[in-house]
A and B are shown apart, each in its own frame.
Chain A
Amino acid sequence: MSTLNPTPTFKILYFASCATFTRLPFESLPAPLSLRDLFPTLEKRYPGMTKRVLESCAVTVNLEYVDLEDEEVTGKGTDGEGMVIKEGDEVALIPPVSSG
């Protein structure tokens, strides 16, 4: 059927060492996705990425930093699933910066 919606997705941006690792500037991933599942999802797509780059990266959702240690964000130690990345969100991995 032509009226079927495509699979809902969010956009993830890769910069600097992240783009080097994925060999992509950005891509679309299936939404929704719990924020706590973001790094494991990426590790599955790009084996070794956690140790090489993700551990030193911050994360933004729609231009706001999210604290990956925060229980409300990850849902760890609570009953909830924490913050969820929704369809159409723009997520970015932020490696250590080096302007100037």
Chain B
Amino acid sequence: MVIEEEHVHVELAHDPLDAKASMERVGSPKAGAIVLFAGTTRDNFANLAVKQLSYDAYPALALKTLLHIARDVKSKHSLTSISIIHRLGTVPVGEESILIAVSSPHRQAAWKAGEEALELTKEKAEIWKLEEFEGDEESVWRANRDGQMGVRVDKANLNSLKEEGSR
């Protein structure tokens, strides 16, 4: 699922993300700087070993939100181009779950814009992370806003949740 405008690209993808493609997308002879942020999935939370993570989303609304964020950040920092891609479904530990690439004539704007786009995405995009732990520990829906573990999911319920995605 992609929304593409001139120099603005937002996307939700089920396949592994391609950092080089993101950089190439925002690259331009007008831009002297490209900043790429790659968020990767961590192998632990609160000292618990994470086996894998899955992301659920409200695709239509998440894309709309990402488009607003990308447009606003591009305009505020006079970027040449911006690309925000988030992965959905199961993401094995160590792989990228989000790529944000921005380009601008000079580096300061690109640094600031990259961070701002990430923070706004984490705050607003309608995407949810489910952490599955090693052993008997129950899975947990995280909430970015308070850094807490969030709501636990019992094992019986987990498989039915992972079969969603037809919405």
Contact = CB atoms under 8 A, between A and B. Distances in A.
Interface string B106-129: 000000000000100111111111
A99 B125 contact: yes
Interface in A1-26: 13, 15-17, 19-20, 23, 25-26
Contact of B58 (A17, A53, A92): A92
Interface in B143-163: 143-146, 150-151, 153, 157, 160-161
B167 A17 contact: no
B166 interface: yes
Given A96-B145, A97-B125, A97-B127, A23 B160 contact: yes
Contact of B128 (A13, A16, A26, A63): A16
A97 B167 contact: no
User: Interface size for chain A: under 10, 10 to 19, 20 to 34, or 35 or more residues?
Assistant: 20 to 34
Nearest to A92: B58
B144 A96 contact: yes
B141 A16 contact: yes
B60 A63 contact: yes
Contacts of B98: 99-100
Interface in A82-100: 92, 94-100
A15 B56 CA distance: 7
Nearest to B166: A25
A60 interface: yes
B157 A98 contact: no
A95 B143 contact: yes
Nearest to B164: A25
Contact of A95 (B62, B121, B128): B128
A80 to B, nearest CB: 27
Most chain A C-beta atoms within 10 Å of own C-beta, residue among B57, B58, B121, B122: B58
Contacts of A19: 56, 161, 164
Contacts of B166: 25
A20 B61 contact: no
Which 4 A-B residue pairings sit nearest by Cβ, starting from the closest? A99-B127, A96-B143, A16-B128, A17-B151
